[in-house]
Amino acid sequence: MTSSTTFDPKAILTHLPNLPGVYRMLDAAGKVLYVGKAIDLKKRVSSYFQKNDLSPRIQLMVRQIAAIETTVTRSEAEALILENNLIKALSPRYNILFRDDKSYPYLMLSAHAYPQLAYFRGDPKKPHQYFGPYPNSYAVRESIQILQKVFRLRTCEDAVFANRSRPCLLYQIKRCSGPCVEHIDEAAYRADVANAVAFLQGKQNELIDSLTERMLAASAAMEFEQAAALRDQIQALSRVQEKQFVSSNVSHDADVVAVAEQQGMVCVNLVMVRGGRHLGDKSFFPLNSEGSDASANLDAFLAQHYLGAPLPPVIIVNGTVSPTLRDYLEQQAERRLAIVGNPIGERRVWLEMAEKNAQLAIQQKLASHATQSQRLARLGEVLELEGVERLECFDISHTLGEATVASCVVYDRGDMQPSEYRRYNITTAKAGDDYGAMREVLTRRYSKLAEGDGKLPDVVLIDGGKGQVGVALEVFADIGLNLPIVGVAKGEERKPGLETLILPYREKTLQLPHDHPALHLIQTVRDEAHRFAITGHRARRGKARTASSLEEINGVGAKRRQRLLTRFGGLRGVMAASIDDLAQVEGISQTLAEKIYNALH
């Protein structure tokens, strides 16, 4: 850590301009500690070395500064964008960071003659219609199920839709109207799509009124089958309405953002309302927020979440938004954007709900931290080790030696750390050689760590018995590492709670009571390593089998194989195709189609 006494800022401060821009504080190793924006670079950067009322967190940061870099911008708004981009790219340790590495999902209606209803994640592109974003995949899939039940829109892929000769099971259970085989004409299907759009836009009452009129007209014309179908739609829509506890008569689309703080922990809860329907909420826990106030956390979330992303027409907040950020978001929206800080009526109810969600999330997090702290403390006791915080666990997965994959999962800071997980495709060990696979993964993982490239764990867990533990000891001896290794041997009949812990550094074994907190922690980490290894193995095996099953057919080369997979949307689609369907693919004769069909069945 570099002390501020070795860094003299005067030379830099003297030449800073009184212009807007972005500044970066760097440590002695050149790593960015903090990124900030300023309307006046000279005044803002100088304040770090002149004020005595800095928070403890910022004081610690200032003591580590070894260099300062600045970038002048044309305006404070431009500085805001550059600051946000640098924070996301560099993740400085003293900036408030909201980790949200996934794009939000949408519900998509494709621009086909018979539009497909689909789950979509990515950047929305024309000419398709998109609804959302939704807070999670479950909310999208729930909406798809509702639309299938009520409007019976197709969800199948284009390759499947174009090659059906008879309707699928969804048609049989009345979840699709069978457009693939023209059981519904294009005009009627388009009417169902228009009704689905009205539903997604929050026009349920108008939609029910319209359907009711059509039902009465069909009944008067003695078209009783059509009237019954419309009656079923009305009833289904009414049931959906009854389930919604949030409905808006003022604004159909809105985001509600509430910040809460308890016992030094900050949480931001985001509630999404689309088409008058409550789609769910998501809680975010910022990093590096110690000593920061609610407004700073609110600004950081709004900037990192919304800059460069789609905006709803209304954002309801429980704090003050900086004028610069507010102005820029309004410009970005390219339409009227209301940022409401003191809502009334139903919007007040929404905000109170989001605040309650944030408070409950903090309580759950604090309870979880207390539980994890207890588990770690008890684990340290039974392993006879001090300061146990970081665990790494390894598992091997294969099917009769095929597509062997090793996993490494990480437990640190009181929780699993998915961003630090790693999978290793085993290449040197013989098929079915678990010891060789363990040797390869440990060598690959810890050779770099032994050289100082990365963070070493306090304990290494090996999912296996004395053989695997012996391999781990040999690898660590070869690369010069001295880390505690704990083997987790499966119990009798592989029943949870009967595991034996192998502690080679103490030359003993343990069998903890089934309700011991330390055993629960080990089981959690071990099970996660097992899950992560299996999913990687299945993906690798599936990929290999997809290619090999077609490769083994004489006359099907790379080009024909690609045409088949593209036409039918993958191997499953190829297997579902008839001989006549296969023969329609370019380069596939009737004889070859029969050969492919027979080879896959």
What average pLDDT does range 191-211 have in this prediction?
A: 80
Assign 483 to helix, strand or coil.
coil
Peptide bond connecting 127 to the previous residue in cis, omega within 30 degrees of 0: yes
Percent of the chain's residues with pLDDT above 70? 91
What average pLDDT does range 70-99 have in this prediction?
A: 90
Q: Give me the CATH topology for the region 552-600.
A: DNA polymerase; domain 1 (1.10.150)
Question: Torsion-angle region of residue 555: left (phi > 0), alpha (psi -120 to 50) or beta?
Answer: left
Spell out where 129-285 has E strands. 129-131, 254-262, 265-274, 277-284
What average pLDDT does range 88-110 have in this prediction?
A: 83
Alpha carbon distances (Å) from 261 to 267, 291, 342, 349, 371: 6, 11, 19, 20, 20
Residue 247 in this model has a pLDDT that exceeds 50: no
What distance in Å separates the CA atoms of residue 591 and residue 598, rounded to the nearest whole number? Answer: 11
What average pLDDT does range 230-234 have in this prediction?
A: 77
Can you name the residues that pair with 261 across neighbouring β-strands? 266
What distance in Å separates the CA atoms of residue 307 and residue 329, rounded to the nearest whole number? Answer: 7
Q: Where are the alpha helices (DSSP H) in 384-499?
A: 434-450, 466-479
Domain boundaries, the chain: 4-90, 105-243, 254-363, 391-540, 552-600
The answer to whether residues 96 and 127 touch, using CB atoms and an 8 Å cutoff, is: no
Q: Which residue in the block uniquely carries the two structure tokens 């024309």?
A: 126
The second-level CATH assignment, the architecture, of 254-363 is 2-Layer Sandwich (3.30)
What average pLDDT does range 515-539 have in this prediction?
A: 88
pLDDT of residue 248: 44
The domain 4-90: what is its CATH number?
3.40.1440.10
What distance in Å separates the CA atoms of residue 231 and residue 566, rounded to the nearest whole number? Answer: 41
What average pLDDT does range 214-243 have in this prediction?
A: 74
Contacts of residue 59, defined as CB under 8 A and 6 or more positions apart, other chains included, come to none
Spell out where 452-571 has E strands. 459-462, 485-489, 500-503, 508-510
Assign 46 to helix, strand or coil.
helix
pLDDT of residue 565: 78
pLDDT of residue 250: 47
Tokens linked to 412: 């640190």
Alpha carbon distances (Å) from 369 to 104, 285, 376: 28, 13, 10
Which tens digits make up the pLDDT trace of 540-568?
666 655 555 677 788 888 888 888 877 77
In degrees and rounded to multiples of 5, residue 557 shows phi and psi of -90, -170
Which tens digits make up the pLDDT trace of 394-403?
998 876 656 6
Alpha carbon distances (Å) from 4 to 22, 49, 92, 93: 21, 9, 19, 18
Nearest to 528 by CA among 388, 383, 409: 409
What average pLDDT does range 518-528 have in this prediction?
A: 92
What distance in Å separates the CA atoms of residue 399 and residue 536, rounded to the nearest whole number? Answer: 12
Class at the top of the CATH hierarchy for domain 391-540 = alpha beta
What distance in Å separates the CA atoms of residue 549 and residue 600, rounded to the nearest whole number? Answer: 8
Which tens digits make up the pLDDT trace of 489-507?
987 656 677 889 999 999 9
Assign 131 to helix, strand or coil.
strand
pLDDT of residue 239: 59
pLDDT of residue 358: 93
At 117, which amino acid appears?
L
pLDDT of residue 196: 87
What distance in Å separates the CA atoms of residue 541 and residue 533, rounded to the nearest whole number? Answer: 12
Indicate if the alpha-carbon torsion angle 89, 95, 99, 102 is positive or negative: negative
Contacts of residue 253, defined as CB under 8 A and 6 or more positions apart, other chains included, come to 202, 273, 274, 275, 312, 313, 314
Tokens linked to 406: 């090793």
The pLDDT confidence band at residue 302, using thresholds 50, 70 and 90, is very high
The three-point CA angle 521-523-527 to 5° equals: 125
Tell me the pLDDT of the chain averaged across its residues: 85
Same fold, 254-363 and 552-600: no
